[in-house]
Amino acid sequence: MKALGLFLSSLLFTFSLSAQKLHLMDDAMIQAFDTELSGESAKRNLEFLSRLHRMRGSEDYKEATDFIMEQITAYGLEGIEMIRIPADGKAFYGTQRSRPAWNVDFAELWELEKTNNQWIRKDRIANWEAIPLTLAQDSESGTATALLADIGRGTSEADYAGIDVKGKLVLTSSQPGAVAPLAVKKYGAVGIVSYAPNQVTAWWKEDENLIRWGHLETFTDIKTFAFMVSLKQARTFQQRLAQGEEIMLDAKVEARKEAGYYDILTAVIKGSDPELSKEEIVFTCHLDHPRPGANDNASGCVAIMEAARAMSKMIREGQIPRPKRTIRFVWSPEIEGTTALLNYRPEMQKSTIANIHMDMVGGNPNTKAIFHVSRSPKSLPNIINSIGEAFGAYVNEVSYQYATGARPEHPIVSEEGGKEELNATLGQFHMGSDFQVFSEGSFKIPSIYLHDWPDRYIHTNYDVPGNIDPTKLKRSAFIGAGSAYTIANLTSDHTDTVFELLKEASLKRTSAMLERLPMLDNEEDRENVKYHHWQYEMGVITDMDRYGLTSKTLQKQALTFLKDMVRIWGAGKAYNGSTARVYNRASSPKGPMSVFGYNYFNDKYGAEKAGKIKVFSYSGIWGSGGAYAYEILNLVDGSRSITDIRNAVSAEFGPIPTDYVKEYLQALASIGVIE
């Protein structure tokens, strides 16, 4: 095994010698993209968007779309359209129950002090106008002057033992929506004050001044409001309450949920080929987010704006040819907007051959962000992930050289930006944004996902433009634009170039697979990982057909390449189980089971029963319950048995009991998602 490892390392080293040469683009084209893309231009757009509290259906969201429409019109984009999808809380678009618009006119929380037997205002704790994040999303109108009671987590009956919360405001470490059923509905609290972390990272307790994004449930009969406070404020309250002090608060909220729209802005750079132009490479981002929301996700929105601006200008000036396929740009609400769009406009799903999604792509070193060029799930073998990773590897290389004092030809740096190495992590799979709708088993559209994770300021009032790096925005736009333009121009002329790229990518994936084998306890699991690895690699080669990149010569070369790899490291063997039932995906509904603000599976199956499905709480070696559940459904295709699906997700995320997979599939069948 050591000798084989050295052999693989030598092959990878041979490929890495040409890493600075991006064979997917010639130097003149790289120079054109590097010269035209502007991190400064992108950041100026970001600074405007970050001033807006871009909640779904709100006036600020409309102002954001109006701004982008004005900009892209000036950029010369074509086919500009505002798609307005009705959202009234009743209409369904696939698995997304449309959420009504949420608007706020006023929200304040004050602490009172007693003077001459009267409670008067002392300190303003929360102010919507100053920091919109202080009001939890989907809060209802209400007023309350009440004492504060600390309920800790507040999600179990034990948390209320010996505490009378009736008529009081409750302080909790949990998300408001998780607390409301007990605190408000059962025990009579009049409102909620939360310091829930929302996104837990290694840094989340280090800065106790952060105010984090909170949520109440959209679809509930519990009409209440919740304020979000910093960890510092919560600790101060807790200390005073523990000393027996009474804390009186005064709350007022004027908010409403009402019928509105998913406003989705789209535009294109039209393809030049009469036939290939019917196919589209679609850029996506999510525009909705609380103010300021600079990295999440004004950064993704402006990065694709910059990609659109630069490509449109270069085409207009004759620096680059018009792409053969159409390149589309979409700005929409996160996940729910994408799910609604692909169901509302099924022709868009049919025309889309690749998705490039950007969600948090500008964090500077202050954010502690790690940048990723992530791939689609293993249920969707494809060639575009290798293309995205090739552009990411190129920027990694030239940015490293630039940071160390060398002078690469194309450093991809902004004058007002940083000079650090990008050091992007390539080829991992992460859940968490709109790309997972495209790549879901209903739509099967491969995606390149550019994103920062972790980010210590995610979903907080400190996610500000000052933490955004123009150089990072430019590099993200370069990776996205370069990938899109390459995919848009793929024809049989690129067969050899793409195949060489795929061989390099296959060797890297094989190396990663071999590193995983010692983590597994038994030979059966190790053999299963190898077997499914080769199945995936064959799927990647087969995907070349989609772009007309195959020939008899190539097919022979590809088979020889894979056979040589299999001969060296072994073919592996799938687990031979007895659970042979096969399911088909029903024709509807289309979309993932858990979308945004609504969980289709929980609603249709029952939240209490759903909470007992074992796969959701399962943790594997390389993945958690949500990833398993997502991929299990993706793998339902009318040919795979329950055992086959178990084997595939075990190879991807780590061994999982077959009974857990079977239980979830039976539950999905009971609500008509599969049959």
pLDDT digits (tens, 9 = 90+) for 33-90: 999 999 999 999 999 999 999 999 999 999 999 999 999 999 999 999 999 999 999 9
In this prediction, residue 575 carries a pLDDT of 84
Q: pTM for the full model?
A: 0.95
In this prediction, residue 198 carries a pLDDT of 81
Among the three residues 528, 552, 569, which one is the final residue of a domain in this structure? 569
User: What is the DSSP secondary structure assignment for residue 129, as one 8-state letter?
Assistant: T
In this prediction, residue 578 carries a pLDDT of 72
pLDDT beyond 50 at 2: no
Q: Are residues 273 and 320 in the same domain?
A: yes
In this prediction, residue 201 carries a pLDDT of 87
Q: Are residues 227 and 185 in the same domain?
A: yes
Q: Are residues 83 and 123 in the same domain?
A: no
Q: Do the beta carbons of residue 155 and residue 179 sit within 8 Å?
A: yes
In this prediction, residue 21 carries a pLDDT of 62
Task: Give the CA radius of gyration of the chain.
Answer: 26
Pairwise CA distance, residues 310 & 75, whole Å: 8
Instruction: Classify burial at 593, counting beta carbons within 10 Å of its beta carbon; exposed 0-12, middle 13-18, buried 19 or more.
Output: buried
In this prediction, residue 205 carries a pLDDT of 84
Q: Do the beta carbons of residue 477 and residue 37 sit within 8 Å?
A: yes
The answer to the question of residue 147 being in a domain is yes
Confidence of residue 3 (pLDDT cuts 50, 70, 90): very low
In this prediction, residue 579 carries a pLDDT of 77
Among the three residues 569, 600, 622, which one is the final residue of a domain in this structure? 569
| Averaged pLDDT for residues 304-313 | 98
Over residues 349-362, the pLDDT tens digits come to: 999 999 999 999 99
As beta bridge partners, residue 149 has 170
Pairwise CA distance, residues 71 & 187, whole Å: 51
pLDDT beyond 90 at 17: no
pLDDT beyond 60 at 14: no
Q: Are residues 279 and 380 in the same domain?
A: yes
Confidence of residue 7 (pLDDT cuts 50, 70, 90): very low
The average confidence (pLDDT) of the chain is 94
pLDDT beyond 80 at 16: no
Over residues 145-194, the pLDDT tens digits come to: 999 999 999 999 999 999 999 999 999 999 999 999 999 999 999 999 99
In this prediction, residue 439 carries a pLDDT of 98
In this prediction, residue 550 carries a pLDDT of 84
In this prediction, residue 567 carries a pLDDT of 94
Structure-block tokens of residue 260: 């509105």
Q: Are residues 291 and 251 in the same domain?
A: no
Over residues 417-428, the pLDDT tens digits come to: 999 999 999 999
Q: Do the beta carbons of residue 357 and residue 303 sit within 8 Å?
A: no
Among the three residues 464, 484, 504, which one is the final residue of a domain in this structure? 484
The answer to the question of residue 452 being in a domain is yes
What's the CATH code of the domain at 252? Answer: 3.50.30.30
Q: Do the beta carbons of residue 180 and residue 222 sit within 8 Å?
A: yes
Over residues 291-304, the pLDDT tens digits come to: 999 999 999 999 99
In this prediction, residue 15 carries a pLDDT of 42
Over residues 459-509, the pLDDT tens digits come to: 999 999 999 999 999 999 999 999 999 999 999 999 999 999 999 999 999
Confidence of residue 11 (pLDDT cuts 50, 70, 90): very low
Element holding 659 (H helix, E strand): helix 658-670
Pairwise CA distance, residues 404 & 617, whole Å: 45
In this prediction, residue 4 carries a pLDDT of 46
Q: Do the beta carbons of residue 486 and residue 321 sit within 8 Å?
A: no
As beta bridge partners, residue 594 has 599
The answer to the question of residue 651 being in a domain is no
Over residues 96-116, the pLDDT tens digits come to: 999 999 999 999 999 999 888
Determine how many CB atoms are found less than 10 A away from the CB of residue 428.
Answer: 13
Q: Are residues 199 and 288 in the same domain?
A: no
pLDDT beyond 80 at 9: no
Q: Are residues 115 and 81 in the same domain?
A: no
Q: Are residues 353 and 246 in the same domain?
A: no
Total domain count for the chain?
Answer: 3
The answer to the question of residue 606 being in a domain is no
Q: Are residues 134 and 222 in the same domain?
A: yes
Q: What is the largest CA-CA distance in the chain?
A: 93
Over residues 145-159, the pLDDT tens digits come to: 999 999 999 999 999
User: What is the DSSP secondary structure assignment for residue 594, as one 8-state letter?
Assistant: B
Residue type, 401: Q
Can you give the residue range of the structural domain that contains 471?
Answer: 40-98+260-412+421-484
The answer to the question of residue 561 being in a domain is yes
| Averaged pLDDT for residues 633-645 | 96
The answer to the question of residue 75 being in a domain is yes
Over residues 518-533, the pLDDT tens digits come to: 999 999 999 999 999 9
The answer to the question of residue 158 being in a domain is yes
Q: Are residues 442 and 532 in the same domain?
A: no
What percent of the chain lies above the pLDDT cut of 90? 90
Over residues 332-352, the pLDDT tens digits come to: 999 999 999 999 999 999 999
The answer to the question of residue 585 being in a domain is no
Q: Are residues 448 and 556 in the same domain?
A: no
pLDDT beyond 60 at 310: yes
Pairwise CA distance, residues 420 & 404, whole Å: 9
What's the CATH code of the domain at 369? Answer: 3.40.630.10
Q: Are residues 406 and 268 in the same domain?
A: yes
Instruction: Classify burial at 197, counting beta carbons within 10 Å of its beta carbon; exposed 0-12, middle 13-18, buried 19 or more.
Output: middle
Confidence of residue 399 (pLDDT cuts 50, 70, 90): very high
pLDDT beyond 90 at 596: no
